[in-house]
Structure 1
Amino acid sequence: MSNHLLVLQSDFGLVDGAVSAMIGVALQEDPTLGVHNLTHDITPYNTFEASYRLFQTIEYWPKGTTFVSVVDPGVGSARKSVVALTKTGQYIVTPDNGTLSYIKKDVGIEAVREISEVENRRSNTELSYTFHGRDVYAYTGAKLASGHISFEEVGPELSVDDILELPVVETVVEENLVRGAIDILDVRFGSLWTSITREEFYSLKPDFNERFEVTIYNNDMLVYQNQVTYGKSFADVRIGQPILYINSLYRVGLAINQGSFAKAYNVGVGSNWHIEIKRLGD
């Protein structure tokens, strides 16, 4: 059951009226909806980042919350518009373009339905092909969040197995090292968030204040190699020093105390950015 909460995410930014138009469409459907923003600063066209930010956020919202995520490089193409029902009882309204990858892998998807644009599209917008965020996603999300339609009324059911998933870098765990990818940045502070989970890192039996050899590659090119302290929080090292830590999603992070690791070493994100953490003395 929906709960009158609607949370919006996009790569639109706030410099023009696009997000405001989506909010307006939602409030036209039901002025009592609680409409909130997750972020509108997703890197343009980056469906991986959209997927990650949903994963980072949805467990902190009440059951029944409806999320609308519009990062849609294929707008107007044959990609499907869908609503996914998560195993935790949330709804996600989005293009089926990889945005559901993290949710499917780490949260679980109970069912998915294709949005029937005959029923669930703003009237008189059939000739507009480039703003589905307003005309299809915000509109359908608002109808769902307000209880004006049920999940079943979204459209025909699709197979969860057929949801488009982005490629994932599998973590390598060996006796004295773990290797994964740099998934995303803690954007404002420039910390690196890796794909290596706390459990995978703990296979190395780390102790706080222990140092590890950290190596970062962009494809096969060495970008960074140094000994880095494992700490509970940034204050465990001096200002300007690097630190390994477990972030709020229970994954390994790499930061500089009161600095930006990403800017300091020109580190990017994505499946071509690999990080290796190795025990010293082995």
Structure 2
Amino acid sequence: MTRCFLPALLLCIGLSGVAQKRIVVYQSDFGLKDGAVSEMKGVAMGVSPDLKLFDVTHEIPAYNIWEAAYRLQQTVPYWPAGTVFVSVVDPGVGTSRKSVVLLTKTGQYIVTPDNGTLTLIAESLGIAAIREIDEAVNRRQDSKKSYTFHGRDVYSYTGARLAAGVISFEQVGPMLPKQEVVSIAYQHAVMEGTVIRGTIPVLDVQFGNVWTNIPGELFRQLGVKFGETIEVRVLHGGREVYRGDMPYSATFGAVDPGKPLAYLNSLLQLSFALNQGNFAAKHGIGSGGDWTVEVRKKS
């Protein structure tokens, strides 16, 4: 019997493949207009009707690998060790991109194409191990003639088998070097003198708020208090899209309707909004690795 000692107990449990919780959580860019998501879940139920199936979202913009990466970073930490995530945003389906299962250092599994989807979760939670899916074993029976729906035939099938304990993590396939995980380049949050630079990883799509990757603890180094003003500059591919001043506020209601404010979002990252308005739409702001933001305290 393998012997595990704290603080390596969780890692040992995860690597030995006995930490599954029979939970599978899906995300994709498929939408819900057709049967694609239902097909994936049907395959999972065929593996084991005892599985519990949930969703992150199926409204990732088509082909947007970056947003898939962000939604994993946003949600995975809140699920228990042993949870299996199946993330399918796969514009390269059927090509030479690898199909993998990543085990985070906190014990969650992510089944996905290795196309950049793992960029942020690898940084925030860390990689305990990563394995390439052996499709000779971990592929839905009689599906080899289908080249365009690996989400159903490979990823959901493998994720369900892993979550149900039909296979262990070791049986997913061969181990891959951690440093070879495909990564998307972006502006990390940094402080340079009196300016903090970061990126806009995602928009709060329901309300049009602009979320940055600048953590609250870094922003506080500017010495800005509630009610004080900051200068904000947003660039897309190096071209200025927005420049303006706004107060740093605890809540939206701290400013009049239609007025801008800076605040910390639910992930405690600096964000910009219009009270009861759509900041992103008004100023033509998007998200992704090519969007950057600069913030300084108003002198």
What RMSD, in angstroms, separates the aligned Cα atoms of the two structures?
Answer: 1.0
Q: SS of 1:203's equivalent?
A: helix
1:139 and 2:129 correspond: no
- Where does residue 29 of structure 1 map in the other structure? 47
Q: Which runs of 5+ in 2 are unaligned?
A: 1-18
What is the identity, as a one-letter code, of the residue corresponding to 2:174? Answer: P
Could you tell me the TM-score, scaled by structure 2's length?
Answer: 0.92
Q: Which runs of 5+ in 1 are unaligned?
A: none
Q: Within 1, Cα distance between the matches of 2:290 and 2:26?
A: 29
Q: Within 1, Cα distance between the matches of 2:189 and 2:25?
A: 32
1:191 and 2:209 correspond: yes
Deviation at 1:140, TM superposition (A): 0.3
How many correspondences in the alignment?
A: 281
| Structure 1 range deviating more: 264-273 or 29-38 | 264-273
Deviation at 1:170, TM superposition (A): 2.6
Q: SS of 1:158's equivalent?
A: coil
Deviation at 1:217, TM superposition (A): 1.9
The 1:178–1:239 alpha-carbon spacing in structure 2 relative to 1, beyond 3 Å, is same
What is the identity, as a one-letter code, of the residue corresponding to 1:248? Answer: S
- Where does residue 237 of structure 1 map in the other structure? 255
1:26 and 1:139 in contact (8 A); partners too: yes
| Structure 1 range deviating more: 272-281 or 103-112 | 272-281
- Where does residue 125 of structure 1 map in the other structure? 143
The match for 2:56 among 10, 32, 38 is 38
Deviation at 1:109, TM superposition (A): 1.1
Q: SS of 2:222's equivalent?
A: coil
- Where does residue 261 of structure 1 map in the other structure? 279
Q: Within 2, Cα distance between the matches of 1:235 and 1:241?
A: 10
1:276 and 2:289 correspond: no
- Where does residue 10 of structure 2 map in the other structure? none
Q: Within 1, Cα distance between the matches of 2:241 and 2:144?
A: 49
- Where does residue 231 of structure 2 map in the other structure? 213
Q: Within 2, Cα distance between the matches of 1:176 and 1:42?
A: 35
Q: Within 2, Cα distance between the matches of 1:272 and 1:80?
A: 25
Q: Can you list the C-alpha shifts for 1:200-236, whole angstroms capped at 9, x where unaligned?
A: 2111011011111111222333222221010112111
- Where does residue 69 of structure 1 map in the other structure? 87
2:103 and 2:129 in contact (8 A); partners too: yes
Q: Can you list the C-alpha shifts for 1:153-201, whole angstroms capped at 9, x where unaligned?
A: 1011111111101102133413322122211101111111112121221
2:67 and 2:288 in contact (8 A); partners too: no
Q: Can you list the C-alpha shifts for 1:256-276, whole angstroms capped at 9, x where unaligned?
A: 111111111111112332211
Q: SS of 2:263's equivalent?
A: strand
- Where does residue 57 of structure 1 map in the other structure? 75
Could you tell me the TM-score, scaled by structure 1's length?
Answer: 0.97
Q: What percent of counterpart residues are identical?
A: 51
